[in-house]
Amino acid sequence: MRPLPRSLNPLPDETLTGFVLRLAHRLGTTPGEIADRTGLPSRLPLGVLHHLNDEHLTGFARSTQLMPAEVSGMLLAPLGDRYGPLNPVLTPRRTPARMIYDNPWVLTRSTRYCPQCLTGDRSAIQDLHGGAWRRLWRLPVTFLCVQHQRLLESQCPRCATPAQFAPAANAIARLSDDTLHPWQCRFTARQTSQRSETACAADLTWVDPASTAPDVATMTVLLQVQRQLIDLLVASGPETAMSAGAPVPVPHYFADLRATVAMIFRSWPVAREHASTPCLAAAIDAEYASRVLQAERLLNTLGKKKTSKPYTVPPQGCLATGAALDTAAKLLDTHDPGDARRRLAPLVQRLREADLALSTWLRRPTWISVSLRQAVMDLPTGRRAAS
Ligand SMILES: [Zn+2]
Ligand SMILES: [Zn+2]
């Protein structure tokens, strides 16, 4: 790989695809051309977001004049050191490449984003090519921009396609298009009557003046939850977090949140009393109703029904995500194992009645921490009455 005539410094927490978009814009070429000239797998398969093999990583580093560590810092795989849903121990997969498939707790085909962050920090280079498409926006546990104190967006304001939606198997849409700015929507609106293949091209830094934020009390709660979660995700964060009566390694904590969110939805409204504000309770009410509808629709399909699945995924909307994570975090946040057990017992009981298979699946040892497992474990019949 020959070095490119010019390169770019990666921005903090930037994704590889975001970097490729900015570099293509800087060099006046297409993302596909950047992929070819830096030795990335051709057509940029989805997996490049998560992981590069040694050959691809060193080739990309050499041609972009970056250190290999800077390149791996743009991938999602290293986040698995702290984020259980990307951690091979807590999210077992047959091969590392399978990690991002059928894994709703990482966004691979789209991303959330903050319009204000995308406009950049007013430095010359960001004025030209925009701010970072951030890695943390790819994790559903990120729902709010702490810097700009606003909920993240998840779709294009014009065509309503999920942001950076990847059609087919490519990590970037319109690989051969050199006309779009990194912050423009790349969705191809196919109008069959006109055979039009032009991009939507909406400016994703646009902020709808009519959009309203949740009430102040709700935003205060959400900001606090988001700050806590981001503090745990950054590499310099603490090693452990309190979960269901004991400190657990941080990746286990995120695995516990994933399982607890599923328990909350499948047993709703049992945990409603733990919602911090009426707005957050209402957000989970609405999300729950849509999940019930999805599950009912699955009942009428042929083959394996998978009716549990709608309850186990994180919400798409950022308000509902924040609401579910706030409730889950509150349920887990106790130093006392007995207290954890008492808080979670009503959810577990309802879950067992509603969906025994899911209740077993969510509580399996490879899925949750030891302390959460102890808190939600079935007691022998005699002791259950006593507890
Ligand atoms: Zn922001
Ligand atoms: Zn669009």
CA of 82 to the centre of ligand 2 (A): 33
Å from CA of 189 to ligand 1 middle = 28
Q: How far is the CA of 208 from the centre of ligand 1 (A)?
A: 15
Sign (positive or negative) of CA dihedral 317, 100, 226, 153: negative
Does the structure show a pLDDT above 80 at 46?
yes
Q: Which residues, by Cβ under 5 Å, contact ligand 1, an ion?
A: 114, 116-117, 145, 147-148
What is the per-residue pLDDT across 309-347, written as a single tens digit (0 to 9) for each?
999 999 999 999 999 999 999 999 999 999 999 999 999
143 with 222, same domain?
A: no
Same domain, 279 and 189: no
Q: Which residue has the tokens 């695809």?
A: 17
Residue 382 has pLDDT above 60, yes or no: no
Cα distances (angstroms) measured from residue 111 to each of 73, 114, 146: 18, 10, 17
pLDDT above 50 (res 387): no
How remote is the CA of residue 187 from the centroid of ligand 2, in Å?
6
pLDDT category at 383 given cuts 50, 70, 90 is low
Centre of ligand 2 to C-alpha 230, Å, is 28
| Same-domain pairing of 12 and 158 | yes
| Structural domain count of the chain | 2
| DSSP classification of residue 368 | S
Residue whose tokens read 């699945």: 309
Q: Are residues 87 and 104 in the same domain?
A: yes
Task: Tell me what the pLDDT averaged over the chain comes to.
Answer: 93
Count the neighbouring beta carbons within 10 Å of the beta carbon of residue 46. 18
For the record, the structure tokens of 207 come out as 């902020």
Please give the pLDDT value at position 97: 82
Structure tokens at 127: 């004025």
- How far does the centroid of ligand 2 lie from the alpha carbon of residue 157, in Å? 7
Residue 386 has pLDDT above 70, yes or no: no
pLDDT of 342: 96
Q: CA-to-CA distance for 266 and 314, rounded, in angstroms? A: 12
* Segment 50-86, tens digit of pLDDT: 999 999 999 999 999 999 999 999 999 999 999 999 9
Residue in the block written with tokens 């779709």: 155
The three-state secondary structure class of 250 is helix
Which residue from 96, 59, 102, 60 is spatially nearest to 80, judged by alpha carbons? Answer: 96
Q: In terms of domains, do 7 and 26 share one?
A: yes
Q: Which ligand is nearest to the CA of 207?
A: 1
Beta carbons of 327 and 282 less than 8 angstroms apart = no
Could you tell me the maximum CA-CA distance found in the chain, to the nearest angstrom?
74
What's the mean pLDDT in 118-143?
97
Q: Which ligand sits nearest to residue 198's alpha carbon?
A: 2
Closest ligand to residue 134's CA: 1
Q: Quick check: 112 pLDDT over 80?
A: yes
Q: What is the pLDDT, as a whole number, of residue 42?
A: 86
Considering the domain architecture, whether residues 256 and 191 belong to the same structural domain is answered as no
Which ligand is nearest to the Cα of residue 173, counting in written order? 2
> Same domain for 29 and 138?
yes
Ligand nearest to the CA of 162: 2
Name the nearest CA neighbour of 352 among 379, 324, 383, 325: 379
Q: Could you tell me the distance, in angstroms and rounded to a whole number, from the CA of residue 174 to the centre of ligand 2? A: 13
Task: Indicate whether 380 pLDDT > 70.
Answer: no
Whether residues 249 and 100 share a domain: the answer is no
Is residue 350 predicted with pLDDT exceeding 90? yes
Q: Give residue 379's pLDDT.
A: 67
Ligand 2 mean position, distance from CA 150 (Å): 21
pLDDT above 70 for 365: yes
Q: Is the pLDDT of residue 306 over 90?
A: no
Q: How far apart are CA 35 and CA 154, in angstroms?
A: 26
23 has pLDDT over 50? yes
Beta strands in 68-164 (DSSP E): 144-145, 150-151
Q: Cα(150) to centroid of ligand 1, in Å?
A: 7
Whole-number Å distance between alpha carbons of 19 and 331: 38
- Ligand 2 centroid from CA 49, angstroms: 21
If one counts every other C-beta atom within 10 angstroms of the C-beta of residue 331, the result is 24
What is the sign of the dihedral through the CA atoms of 361, 365, 368 and 373? Answer: positive
**Residue 196, pLDDT score:** 62
Ligand 1 centroid vs 127 CA: distance in angstroms?
15
In a shared domain, residues 91 and 142: yes
Same domain, 224 and 170: no
pLDDT at 50: 96
Q: What is the pLDDT of residue 95?
A: 84
Q: What is the spatial distance between Cα 269 and Cα 288, in angstroms, rounded to a whole number?
A: 9
* Phi, psi for 207 (deg, rounded to 5): -110, 125
- Which residue, 137, 57, 50, 56, is CA-closest to 99? 50
Q: Which ligand is nearest to the CA of 114?
A: 1
Q: Are residues 163 and 233 in the same domain?
A: no
% of the chain residues with pLDDT over 70: 96
- Dist. CA 136 → ligand 1 center (Å): 12
pLDDT of the residue at 191: 59
3-state secondary structure at position 205: coil
* Tokens 């979670």 belong to residue: 344
Segment 298-316 mean pLDDT? 85
Q: Which tops the pLDDT comparison, 108 or 192?
A: 108
Residues in the chain: 387
Query: What is the distance in A from the centroid of ligand 2 to the CA of 253?
Result: 36
Residues bordering ligand 2, an ion, CB closer than 5 Å: 156, 158-159, 185, 187, 200, 202
Q: pLDDT band at residue 192, thresholds of 50, 70 and 90?
A: low
Domain range for 114: 1-175+183-207
One domain, residues 162 and 59: yes
Alpha helix (H) ranges present in the chain? 16-27, 31-37, 54-64, 68-72, 115-119, 124-129, 216-233, 250-267, 278-299, 309-312, 318-332, 337-354, 356-362, 370-376, 381-386
* Closest ligand to the CA of 185: 2
